[in-house]
Structure 1
């Protein structure tokens, strides 16, 4: 069985609902979706998916513990809650155990924009399928200052195999117990942990796991570079919207990743705060697709998501309704 995977807790509830609605519209209401628990804050999500028979929360505690222990051995510093907001992001690795034979993983802050059939088809000939431009910036995956980096991976691989962990397709079982143990030995005993970029959650480790294991990788962004490759990030401001679908120079996007828009911004917007961020109306359309009457109506002037938080004095005055 094939399916869609994501990772979530109640913190990203609004983003998750938008993703699920986009899957329902674009891929169909019977598309199976597995949610891996970022942590145990799942009350709102559990209530929401009670009305979605195709969506379920992964509950194999042995599998979750197995990957928790793997992360603890492979990159323990990334489980530091005070340092990394994404300390639980590695639980997406449970997809290598179950429930799907082939799966496409999407971060909760994404929207599906097109059929994913071509992505699944590539898994017939490849182990790992992605569609992004992360390969242009090695510094967000590996430490380019480490002399060991070029000894572990040839420059040609660093120039072409790096990917963003927000969207990828793969298969069950490609990281079995033997392979996991070998990867940990390379990171710990051979000292290869030093080549990983230190400022992110699971993305550097996942890139290392895939590349060090020699998996066959296909990147649509590279392969379609001269024949219609599209962007995928909200940092690209030139996308055109038609009927709630985005196009890049006439080519339909496969997915849109709201990278850089943190959960507290979407939470605030859904609570009625008029904060601007790229493609906000598209997000709100999918977020409230099932309940459009609850879509927020903004009554204040918009402010940028990049604006600094109000001062203590301003917050006090607003609470007293002395300023707007």
Structure 2
């Protein structure tokens, strides 16, 4: 059985891609890795292939997938249809795979995530969830909830198996989705698409943190708590009194943030070779200096 990780990136997110790949290889040095180019602007990302040991997956289905995205797009993004290329992973180079966006850092061994569909006999394992980012309240959402679906999983980090869907399946599915477009999130088009695909087909889905147990249930950088490394070098979350206190962190992501934002837990990006974007680095330094001054005045350790 072939197993590996598929990721998507282009040069617009090159500053994110370097810490992503550095962190991934720090914790998963030997796992096969393949790039699905986000678009044609990938020269800088492709230059990293030798350094980080990844192949490039190109497929004639990219155009068909982008056409599906274009049908569902409501004009909120000029590049939204490109996100649909990621779903070529379902007929890509690996029988079992995890798909990952580049705007995240990897903080642990992802083998159990990649192989979850085989290990646990499921079709798809997911990470973060937010139902309102996928479905609007309405009869379809209610029906899927009643049937045990409507998880609302994030489309930037999930694991599945080859053959679960084909591009023909997706082209058929988009016809049905056009009739219920008003019940899908208007902006997160690709996320709404894959969730609806899974719910409409009764895909067996489980949250990876529920399967693995000692794993933080969310990877979003804005969550409560503070990432730290224990005495054995394992990344964990310090959230005293919280459900995830001292549990393992497999990854941390910045979905929804742009390079110009003041990023929560941005130190993790710097730890893995990222740099503060010029637009906000001065503000960040000023905030850090102010925080240190306030701690000294309060007599607290820095």
TM range (shorter): 0.7 to 0.9
Cα distance in 2, alignment partners of residues 304 and 48 from structure 1: 29
Q: Which residue of 2 aligns with 1:291?
A: none
Q: Residue by residue, what CA displacement relative to the aligned partner does 1:223-272 show, whole Å, maximum 9, x if unpaired?
A: 567x654431110241232278641221120111122331345xxxxxxx
Give 3-state SS (helix, strand or coil) of 2:5's partner. Answer: strand
Post-superposition Cα deviations, 1:29-61, rounded to whole Å, max 9, x if no partner, equal x32221212211112112222433x2123222x
Q: Secondary structure at the match of 1:198?
A: coil
The structure-2 alpha-carbon separation of the partners of 1:122 and 1:48, relative to structure 1 and needing over 3 Å to count, comes to closer
Q: 2:240 is matched with which residue?
A: none
Aligned equivalents of 1:27, 1:179: Cα separation in 2: 33
* Partner in structure 2 of residue 66 of structure 1: 64
> Matches of 1:5 and 1:17 in 2, distance apart?
15
31 and 148 in structure 1: CA distance in 2 versus 1, 3 angstrom threshold: closer
Q: Which residue of 2 aligns with 1:35?
A: 35
**Cα-to-partner distance string for 1:254-302 (whole Å, 9 max, x where unaligned):** 111122331345xxxxxxxxxx4222222112125xxxxxx6799x984
Aligned to 1:94: 88
Q: CA RMSD in A?
A: 2.9
Aligned length: 273
1:4 and 1:105 mapped to 2: Cα distance?
6
Aligned to 2:204: 216
Contact map agreement 1:18 1:111 (CA 8 A) in 2: yes
Report the Cα distance in structure 2 between the residues aligned to 1:51 and 1:147, rounded to whole angstroms: 50
Find 2:219's aligned residue among 213, 221, 232: 232
Q: Which runs of 5+ in 2 are unaligned?
A: 238-244, 288-302
TM-score by length of 2: 0.79
Structure 1 stretches lacking a partner, 5+ long? 266-275, 289-294, 308-324
Correspondence for 2:54:
55
- Aligned match of 1:157: 148
1:1-324 aligned within 5 A: 1-28=2-29, 30-52=30-52, 54-60=53-59, 62-73=60-71, 75=72, 77=73, 80=75, 83=77, 86-124=80-118, 125-132=121-128, 134=129, 137-144=130-137, 146-151=138-143, 153-155=144-146, 157-158=148-149, 161-188=151-178, 191-222=179-210, 229-242=216-229, 246-248=235-237, 249-265=245-261, 276-287=262-273, 302-303=282-283
